[in-house]
Structure 1
Amino acid sequence: MDMARKFLQMGYTRSRRYANYESGKKYDQNGNINEREIDEEKARISQDFRSKMEESPGG
């Protein structure tokens, strides 16, 4: 069960990162923060991961 929760958490964080930043990188090569470009489909997918995580025991 711990492994399933781990993969749900990883899916949530990764999908959230790519929802906010198309390249998945918050910072550019100079250390400046990139502009957020919210991808609505990826944001919805991250919410799916989060809702499954909250449904699971211990969530």
Structure 2
Amino acid sequence: MFVKKIYHEGKSKNPNYEFKQALVDASKRKSEMKQVAPFTQKRGRKSTKKTRGKKRTRKHRRH
């Protein structure tokens, strides 16, 4: 997500801007990502002993 944001910023300024350049620029701007990250992270559920080993079979999956 962070790289996409940088890519769109660069592409708006320069039409020849490439995604690989956005990757390089993103690695230089890692400090910004640390400030944004806590708000964008998804909160997952903690697994319990009961749910950890339980998986649905292909037949019983919801579609």
Q: Scaled by the length of structure 1, what TM-score is found? A: 0.28
Q: Scaled by the length of structure 2, what TM-score is found? A: 0.28
Larger relative contact order (Cα-Cα within 8 Å, sequence gap ≥ 6): 1
By percentage of residues, which structure has more helix? 2
